[in-house]
Structure 1
């Protein structure tokens, strides 16, 4: 009973940490250029994950044949994703960002069908259609496309970041058979961090000393979002039914919206909430069809698209 309570508390901590990460990013990009911020964050995260993996899996080695895929995963899942997300959050609200993130599983399913000949049922098709409608409402806010709007540009960057993440999950499919989620996360974080270095040089004119508040937020993102929350997620995933963990993770956008409202005083339109709810409904529909309301095998990886909905779970926000 105590283990069950601890696992539920762990998942509660996970959704709170990942849910408020968008607020943390929004606050930090005011002072630190977005790519530079990502580089600092993931240098710290790489060091911490490297220490952890040496203690937990000292015997696991990366096969040379998997090196290209591991680098590609780091490029899509760390470098491109966080470059696009950090810049996107700079130009949109933390609320919008957290709503848009919920569409990742739908994008992954669509790409799987288009490029990997994945099968799509009527329920999946219905879910994708509902999610597209919900995402449109969340991104446009008023149901109209205003290309000149700063928020619209930020929202499109966020959607592009989700596409990058979806490609990342597909690249990782074969790697998950051979390596643990922690191993994949560690190595792809390291490779992704190395890719940040040349890109960060584009922002050198904006480099300056930053405040303790910005430093605190970067440490929060590196230590809590990229390391502690992920370890808590692994702990909970081993002890809770996969359907329950999926429900928890679907609450992350809710926490994101609430934290944006409470901490940053961001406003959220009713139509955006409707869009977010439609996206969540689509995810529930697809999860129901895939049997997540029953017990099933736990997938490896890391949880941005957690549960049987996708076979990859790398949530580093």
Structure 2
């Protein structure tokens, strides 16, 4: 499978994960879902790493950077994402999550990893404005919708930072290793947080379809997608990988419309267009 084909599948799997997560959290507490998802996904990634790269070892000096990526790039980001999608629409959260590359650019500029440009600054401003337009539609829908969008925005910031801070590690480790080790650090933390709810879960009452949604999230939206995305960044660069971010947004918004009957009001259409334009300019 070529890098481009793998990225297309990863983008589709992540886009559909908005709907899968929203569906699963109707029967499973969000914290339990994210804990189980990354525990299973971490096991799959580790097995793949041991099989494909048996000599892969994590240097002592890289323990802290990998653990940090696992803390905010996996645990914090995915907890915010899962709770956010459970509270707000898949369409609005899909649009807001598209800002992740913008926050990566902003952090890269602050750390001196990237030189800020006029287009980049304009892109950041447009993305923030677009998020404000998308969120404004939910201001009259109660606090939960606004909170959900806010949590997904936090997740997007963490994912953007994760992408930027993983770049130096990709110079020393394979894409599969950089996808695996942060998940292995983040998963135990998620399981610890979810343990009170996890031990009380009556899995027999959950139903087959929510369990399949969890399996989908673990296998396709975690193990495969994380490995494919890091491979894409290492082989074709972060800017070219950005093109596939638009596919994630398209699939995520479409899944909300198809599976949950969500509608695209003018706020989402205009705000989404402004966000995507901002992301495009920011990464030019």
Q: What is the TM-score with the length of structure 1 in the denominator?
A: 0.80
For residues 134-192 of structure 1, the C-alpha deviation after alignment (integer angstroms, 9 at most, x for no partner) is: 111122226xx559432111101111112222333344343222112210111111110
- Higher RCO (Cα < 8 Å, 6 or more apart): 2
Instruction: Show the counterpart of 1:88.
Output: 84
1:24 and 2:9 aligned: no
SS of alignment partner, residue 30 of structure 1: coil
The match for 1:139 among 135, 141, 145 is: 135
Q: Is residue 106–residue 128 contact of structure 1 (8 Å, CA) maintained in 2?
A: yes
CA distance in 1, matches of 2:26, 2:121: 40
Q: 1:205, CA displacement in angstroms? A: 8.0
Cα gap change, 1:203/1:49 in structure 2, threshold over 3 Å: closer, same or farther? Answer: same
Give the deviation of 1:259 after TM superposition. 1.0
- Of 274, 277, 282, the residue aligned with 1:278 is 274
Q: Is residue 259 from structure 1 mapped to residue 255 from structure 2 by the alignment?
A: yes
Q: Residue 180 and residue 117 in structure 1: after superposition, are their counterparts in 2 closer, same or farther (change >3 A)? A: closer
CA contact (8 A) 2:102 2:279 kept: yes
Which SS does the other structure have where 1:179 is aligned?
A: coil
Match of 2:161 in 1: 167
Query: Residues 247 and 115 of structure 1: is their aligned pair in 2 closer, same or farther, counting only changes over 3 Å?
Result: closer
Distance 1:222 1:205 in 2: 20
| Higher fraction of helix | 2
CA distance in structure 2 between the partners assigned to 1:75 and 1:223 by the alignment: 21
Match of 1:107 among 103, 106, 111: 103
Cα shift at 1:262: 0.7
Partner residue of 2:145?
Answer: 151
Equivalent in the alignment of 2:51 = 55
3-state SS of paired residue (1:19): helix
Contact 2:179 2:230 in 1 (8 A): no
The alpha-carbon deviation at position 7 of structure 1 amounts to 5.9
Unaligned stretches of 5+ residues in structure 1: 289-317
Residue 191 of structure 1 is matched in structure 2 by 185
Report how far residue 229 of structure 1 moved.
3.6
| CA deviation map 1:73-108 (0-9, x unaligned) | 101111111111111111101111111111011112
Partner Cα separation in structure 2 for residue 245 and residue 169 of structure 1: 11
Distance 1:260 1:126 in 2: 29
Note the alpha carbon deviations across 1:193-233, whole angstroms, 9 max, x for none.
01112210343586222111111001101111112344555
Q: Over aligned residues, Cα RMSD in angstroms? A: 2.6
Q: Measure, in 1, the Cα distance between the counterparts of 2:68 and 2:236.
A: 32
SS of the residue corresponding to residue 54 of structure 2 reads coil
Partners of 2:112 and 2:237 in 1: CA distance? 29
Between the aligned partners of 2:176 and 2:235, the Cα distance in structure 1 is 17
> C-alpha separation between the residues in 2 aligned to 1:7 and 1:110?
27
Query: Which residue does 2:70 correspond to in 1?
Result: 74
Contact 1:147 1:153 in 2 (8 A): no
**Residue 33 of structure 1 contacts residue 207 of structure 1 at CA under 8 Å; is this kept in 2?**
no
